[in-house]
Amino acid sequence: MSNQDLIEAEAEVMLEEKMNSDILRPLIEREVTPSSRKVSPTQQTGVIVGELIAISDEGQTPLVCYPDQPGTAAIAARTTIDLQGRHIGQQVVLMFEGNDLAKPIIMGVIQGKTGWPLDKQPNQVEVDADGERMIVSAKEQLVLRCGKASITLTKAGKVLIKGSYVLSRSSGVNRIKGGSVQLN
């Protein structure tokens, strides 16, 4: 390579560097202001404190409400922690997938505040199982249902057995007792 070729190659490199720096210079020197970092109304940066409203789908899908949420109905969220019925009504820390307000992720439960009072928890059924017996209790009514058959226990003491076919079988005495017994 001759000196002339070296000079021309250096000139090309310098020209290319100057062009690249001129292209990038406005981006490098641009002043970042709050207005240049606008987030659309459906996006959120940082964390928001919301409220755990319910847990549906057999305890798999938490429902939350939070400020500036899209719509007024509770929104299904994902979670990074193990949520339980006692957390319903408590404040939760939310982040958003891709900063999208419609995709909340529960990062934690705020400590120090209790959720719903135990006697006022909505849709709660108490189950006590010790390996030998299981007690299931409800405040107003307990219904076991399978297809067209059901057994209903009410707070007033009624036991309602319904089905297309009802069979009562006993190897010992089969008693029917009551203030009055009506057949058909």
Residue 67 sits in a domain of what CATH number?
Answer: 2.40.50.230
Note the pLDDT of residue 79: 92
Long-range (24+ apart) CB contacts under 8 A made by 67-74 are 68/41, 68/44, 68/101, 69/101, 70/42, 70/101, 70/102
Mean pLDDT value across residues 90-99: 91
147 with 86, same domain: the answer is: no
52 with 114, same domain: the answer is: yes
Domain enclosing residue 153, as ranges: 126-162
Report whether 177 contacts 183 (CB < 8 A).
no
In a domain, 17, yes or no: no
Note the pLDDT of residue 28: 52
In a domain, 5, yes or no: no
**Mean pLDDT over each residue of the chain, to the nearest integer:** 77
Which of 84, 99, 118 terminates a domain? The answer is 118
Name residue 65's amino acid: C
In a domain, 27, yes or no: no
Residue 95 burial class via C-beta count within 10 angstroms: exposed 0-12, middle 13-18, buried 19 and up:
middle
Mean pLDDT value across residues 23-41: 53
At residue 17 the predicted structure's pLDDT band, cuts being 50, 70 and 90, is low
57 with 104, same domain: the answer is: yes
CA–CA separation, 75 and 78 (whole Å):
10
At residue 123 the predicted structure's pLDDT band, cuts being 50, 70 and 90, is low
At residue 139 the predicted structure's pLDDT band, cuts being 50, 70 and 90, is confident
User: Picking from 59-73, 106-120, 150-164, which range would have the lowest pLDDT averaged per residue?
Assistant: 106-120
Mean pLDDT value across residues 95-105: 90
Q: What is the dihedral of CA 4, 6, 7, 11, to 10 degrees?
A: 140
Report whether 83 contacts 74 (CB < 8 A).
no
In a domain, 64, yes or no: yes
Higher model confidence: residue 21 or residue 174? 174
Q: Choose among 56, 51, 175: nearest CA to 122.
A: 56
Q: Is the model's pLDDT at 76 over the cut of 70?
A: yes
The whole-model pTM stands at 0.42
In a domain, 28, yes or no: no
Mean pLDDT value across residues 161-184: 88
134 with 154, same domain: the answer is: yes
In a domain, 69, yes or no: yes
In a domain, 82, yes or no: yes
In a domain, 11, yes or no: no
Number of domains, the chain: 2
Higher model confidence: residue 184 or residue 157? 157
The segment with the largest mean pLDDT, out of 1-15, 17-31, 116-130, 170-184, is 170-184
107 with 134, same domain: the answer is: no
